[in-house]
Structures are given as C-alpha cells and as structure tokens.
Amino acid sequence: MAKITYIEHSGKKHEVEVANGLTVMEGARDNNIPGIEADCGGACACSTCHVYVDAAWAEKIPAKDAMEEDMLDFAWEPNELSRLTCQVKVTDERDGLVVQLPEKQI
C-alpha cells in the first residue's frame, strides 16, 4: 500500500492510498481522479495516462522501457519527467509518490 498524491493542473491535490500491484493509473481510475483518461485500459497504447513525476521521484522508479518511451511521443507536452502511469506499479517503496497531471491528455 502506498500513498500517492495526484496534483491536477489547477493545483488541486488528491492524496489516496493505492494497493500494491496496481498501477498508478489504476489508482487514479479507482479513486475517480480527473485528468487521467487511460483510453487503452493500461496497454501502453494511448498515452492518455500521462503525468509528470515529481523530480524527487524521477530516479526512484524504474526507467521507461522502449514502448513507453515511444508512446510518450504522442502525449501532451512531454518532458524528461513524463511517465505513463499504466507502466508504473505501486509498491511499498513508492509510498509518498507525487505526480503532476498535464494540462490535458493529447
């Protein structure tokens, strides 16, 4: 279980507990957090689950694989902190993770 903080583009924060084994995308979906659309359901095929990971966490989560890297090219204004939340698993080690939502998805 990990507490994940999702910050909307407006600055509105949502702090929720997410079970281990779910993805950060599923944590948003299950808690009705607006701004993560996840159109493909987590198949790394849509880029609408894009977030910017807090800089303090960027090195603490596993690196992107080639597929995520490619899909991020289709995301809205990606940068070096961009991740697809369907590719980031929740674990105890990620307790306190903070992600910022983009202005929009695609």
Q: Which residues bind ligand FES (CB under 6 A)?
A: 25, 38-40, 42-49, 71, 84, 86
Which lies closer to ligand FES via its Cβ, residue 14 or residue 64? 64
Least gap, CB of 68 to ligand FES (angstroms): 8
Min dist CB 81 to ligand FES, Å, is 16
Instruction: Tell me the C-alpha distance between 48 and 77, whole Å.
Output: 12
Size of the chain, expressed as the number of residues it contains: 106
CA distances from 12 to 5, 34, 57, 84 (A): 10, 10, 20, 20
Task: Kindly tell me which of 9 and 74 has the beta carbon lying closer to ligand FES.
Answer: 74
